[in-house]
Amino acid sequence: MMQRALVTLVVAFFLTIAFQTYQLIREHSNLEKAHAGQQAPLEQALQMRQETEGLAGDVAVLADKGNANAKQVVDAMRAQGIALRAPQAAAGAAAPAH
């Protein structure tokens, strides 16, 4: 009788381990699919951010050069807590060479 109980316990233990392993493999697969599904939107968001930063930099450069409309946009954005700054490369290129 003792051996039968021990065999039942061992079989139950291995079935539990096998089920948990199956669940973990399935969950891992689902996580990989979710991660892969986020790649394209992430790349699009990064591209949009670069384009927006470029546009903001161009507006800041125009404002620095005296464009009244660009100054108005920069002031409106500053009032909302957003600082538009000229890109570093444009600022360095605009400086006279010594």
CA-wise closest residue to 23 among 35, 13, 12, 31: 31
Mean pLDDT of the chain: 89
The pLDDT tens digits for 27-61 are 999 999 999 999 999 999 999 999 999 999 999 99
The pLDDT of 51-78, averaged and rounded, is: 93
The whole model's pTM is what?
0.57
